[in-house]
Structure 1
């Protein structure tokens, strides 16, 4: 009899359960059938793998040897299967395509536009979510080619050990104000000057909320209320004067809203592009990175408040702030 993976799984199940009865239940087999299968496996391997006793089974020296190998082989085969599925999903030999995942913002749209221009015959599909972890997980299992997300300060991205990540840009976090706000005419606003305001922000599963709360404490106050909702609702809450909003500096011009820098750049947002290093997407990553950086540059130029802030020396301010960001 040739030894097969299912035989190794059977041996591992018996060792983990500690008895043939429990192992049979776990494997969905009758105990006599499992006992017969074990005898065939032992004959093929040349000796007993388990010693039977009143308290169950115990591995022999040969059983320990086989188990040690099984604990290496079975996870390796599982990883191989996942890798093959991921590769097949990412590249089926058909027309070239891009599957992009991203949080809501101008960079994803800019990347789609540039890819459509550079690769007119390629398909481009997108998936958006407020959850950076969800997007990263889909890149890990091959449902997305590239993940375009952001992290607060220097915090690590999700799936840092399984995806390759490159920083494509970093921006200060600005504040959105209604055009009639008393501070709207200012180019830069101290966070402490907004102590009495309610706030609006999009949700996320990173540390941004905690970093914002910590920045407010350093400024001498605790936010009265923070509305976590989608981008359109955040804009509406700002337009009607219900709250002031937090946004990336590249946030596009919107009627009834102005964006302004926060003095001292207390919060910074890093834009990251990730991909699985063993997927076909890895070969195209340098070109996609270049497209994202170009899209960021275009978004920055379209934001008049960000352009003015950079021209006034804000880039140096941002660099200094990053020395203490976390």
Structure 2
């Protein structure tokens, strides 16, 4: 459905740039997504012209089938949610959305203890913008998202923001036999000849990495792919890849901070008005502290920077 919504947005706006703004994603991410769809079909769906994007004959055919599916799915979700609300016995419900994070498991475990009897659901999505739209539409109660530095998220009006961490450094994952793995802190210059792998479907990720590499005067080859694939290639020494500092220890991979922390994200909990987030936020913070203490390179980084997160509450 995400692919179909993207095609409809491109057709409706006539521009990849305007469609990306409508969907709340970066243009490179949307361009990559469209390229993947066209590669899967083996033909172009849009002609890129100076005045914008125009559907091809195949594109018009696909769109004629996509629009009813997109509209039908929106109606199905709304009706299903209404039926769930009507069928519930009045017990509390908490609908959580999150971008991928090592913190989620501990957060859920803590919430189930802190909120007994609450029906807690979870949806994980690579797109922070998609989760924020669903909070704004009332499909989720809260969303824990990562905002890449330099690529601000479009938070719908009326939602509440709670900053868990204003600046979380992003570390680098590399093979155990990489020369830089022997050092506690890695310089970007040590990775100048490496291939990098970035997931362009993660909102702001590719833009952030590209800015940092450009500022350092580096232009390494960059592969696009999901981070599960990236991890397998990192182990083999084929690529290096940015990663969350809370990433757990692995015997086959080294995770190191980058000198001066050029890559960073802001961690936000966004909620609907009226949602009681005192317990939700408190347990998220506790789960984050736990994950940070369990990741030795990050805990050492927190100690060096005298972060309150390094202290045991």
Query: When the two structures are superposed, what TM-score results if normalisation uses the length of structure 1?
Result: 0.64
Q: Are 1:286 and 2:278 counterparts?
A: yes
Deviates more, 1:296-305 or 1:213-222: 213-222
> What residue is the counterpart of 2:224 in the other structure?
227
In the alignment, the residues of structure 2 paired with residue 304 and residue 168 of structure 1 have an alpha-carbon distance, to the nearest angstrom, of 20
> What residue is the counterpart of 1:138 in the other structure?
134
Native 8 Å contact 1:150 1:271 kept in 2: yes
Structure 2 counterpart of 1:215, from 208, 212, 217:
212
1:160, distance to aligned residue in structure 2 (A): 4.0
Could you list the per-position Cα deviations for residues 159-205 of structure 1 after superposition, in whole angstroms to 9, with x for gaps in the alignment? 24242111112310100011111111211011121011111233445
Could you list the per-position Cα deviations for residues 48-72 of structure 1 after superposition, in whole angstroms to 9, with x for gaps in the alignment? xxxxxxxxxxxxxxxxxxxxxxxxx
> What residue is the counterpart of 1:195 in the other structure?
192
Structure 1 counterpart of 2:262, from 266, 290, 298:
266
In the alignment, the residues of structure 1 paired with residue 109 and residue 86 of structure 2 have an alpha-carbon distance, to the nearest angstrom, of 21
Could you list the per-position Cα deviations for residues 77-119 of structure 1 after superposition, in whole angstroms to 9, with x for gaps in the alignment? xxxxx9xx99x95996621122111111112222111101212
> Cα gap change, 1:215/1:314 in structure 2, threshold over 3 Å: closer, same or farther?
farther
Any runs of at least 4 consecutive aligned residues in structure 1 with deviations exceeding 4 A, and if so which? 88-93
In the alignment, the residues of structure 2 paired with residue 270 and residue 196 of structure 1 have an alpha-carbon distance, to the nearest angstrom, of 29
Alignment of 1:1-326 (within 5 A): 94-153=90-149, 155-169=151-165, 170-229=167-226, 231-277=227-273, 280=274, 282=275, 284-313=276-305
1:154, distance to aligned residue in structure 2 (A): 5.9
Native 8 Å contact 1:192 1:220 kept in 2: no
Larger Rg: 1
Native 8 Å contact 2:151 2:207 kept in 1: no
* Count of residue pairs brought into register by the alignment: 227
Could you list the per-position Cα deviations for residues 232-273 of structure 1 after superposition, in whole angstroms to 9, with x for gaps in the alignment? 222111111111110111112233111100001101111111
> Cα gap change, 1:202/1:314 in structure 2, threshold over 3 Å: closer, same or farther?
farther
Could you list the per-position Cα deviations for residues 17-56 of structure 1 after superposition, in whole angstroms to 9, with x for gaps in the alignment? xxxxxxxxxxxxxxxxxxxxxxxxxxxxxxxxxxxxxxxx
In the alignment, the residues of structure 2 paired with residue 298 and residue 234 of structure 1 have an alpha-carbon distance, to the nearest angstrom, of 25
> Cα gap change, 1:205/1:232 in structure 2, threshold over 3 Å: closer, same or farther?
closer
Unaligned runs of 5+ in 1: 1-81, 317-326
Query: When the two structures are superposed, what TM-score results if normalisation uses the length of structure 2?
Result: 0.67
In the alignment, the residues of structure 1 paired with residue 306 and residue 229 of structure 2 have an alpha-carbon distance, to the nearest angstrom, of 29
Aligned residues: CA RMSD: 2.5
Unaligned runs of 5+ in 2: 1-77, 309-313
In the alignment, the residues of structure 1 paired with residue 136 and residue 86 of structure 2 have an alpha-carbon distance, to the nearest angstrom, of 11
